[in-house]
Amino acid sequence: MSLQERWDLGGIVAELRKTRERWREGRHRDPIGREFPSREVVGEVLRLLRGALFPLRLGPADLKREGEDFFVGHALDTGLNLLLSQIDLELRCRQREHDTEVSSAVITREAGNIAVRFAHLLPRLRAVLDTDVEAAFSGDPAARSVDEVLLCYPGIIALIHHRIAHELYNLGVPLIARIVAEQAHGETGIDIHPGAQIGSHCFIDHGTGVVIGETAEIGDRVRIYQAVTLGAKRFEVEDSGALRKNQPRHPIVEDDVVIYAGATILGRITIGRGSVIGGNVWLTRSVPPGSQITQARTQQESGDSL
């Protein structure tokens, strides 16, 4: 008996088809081909954009200075066209989900407009990323150069992805933005929702296990260490019992705050400017500017939960 016969491939294929059909019927879907953006294509877009933003460090190994502009132009042309195809897929998917009557030409035009607006944001995005690299170099005594920071630090890779994802999220393609964010999560262990707002000169040191929620707002010159959570304390629900979406539920971290390893900060609270949150602190209420919060202090608090 052959392996194909032992596996009963025909039977397995048939059962998988039935399972797919039940799923689609339950959601009133009738797919005619590829419905959603591709993780693989978005990954290629990211590779090209990372190279275009930092060509001599994240571009091809054999790239020379004299060929820099040519490579950047080629990478952008290829990457932005690939991105355009994925934006088009997401917009068509959304149209089907909401059962709206929008012509194919209108969707194609809107996808193009989004891709063009994103392209024009890239110079500003590079400038902000430069501040992140500078913050990591100046904030870590182990960093020997800005090149080491850019090539080696997971926090910088996560921020490159996040700043790309955040712009796409704001431009109205949240699914592609989430794919960008999750690819950084898989590569670095740093989980930043693309909706989170992060100011300039951000430094995520070490980074493994950092979680930053969708509605978090982080100011300028903020330093975050590994295993920090900026999360929600509770989830509001509709009368139907479904979770209420798009509600501000994550912390606001003002400028010049340092949050040390393992701190958990939950809810729509404000960490005042210049505060220092110590390691492993559990914080569920706002603190004023210049606060110094440590485990010892929170244990001494009576009656109030930090």
What pLDDT is attached to residue 65? Answer: 94
Point out which residues pair with 217 in neighbouring strands: 197, 252
What pLDDT is attached to residue 300? Answer: 47
Amino acid letter for position 33: G
Q: Per-residue pLDDT for the chain (306 aa), expressed as one digit of tens each?
A: 666 677 788 888 999 999 998 988 877 766 666 689 999 999 999 999 999 999 999 999 999 999 999 999 999 999 999 999 999 999 998 888 777 778 899 999 999 999 999 999 999 999 999 999 999 999 999 999 999 999 999 999 999 999 999 999 999 999 999 999 999 999 999 999 999 999 999 999 999 999 999 999 999 999 999 999 999 998 777 777 777 777 899 999 999 999 999 999 999 999 999 999 999 999 999 999 999 999 866 544 534 444
CA dist list (Å): 6 to 9, 13, 14, 52, 263? 8, 14, 16, 50, 53
How far apart are the C-alpha atoms of 280 and 297, rounded to whole Å?
Answer: 12
Backbone dihedral angles phi then psi of residue 231, each to the nearest 5 degrees: -120, -175
What pLDDT is attached to residue 303? Answer: 43
CATH 1.10.10.10 for domain 24-189:
no
> Residues of CATH 2.160.10.10 domain(s) within the chain?
209-306
What pLDDT is attached to residue 32? Answer: 63
Q: What's the CATH number for 209-306? A: 2.160.10.10
What pLDDT is attached to residue 1? Answer: 64
> Residues of CATH 1.10.3130.10 domain(s) within the chain?
24-189
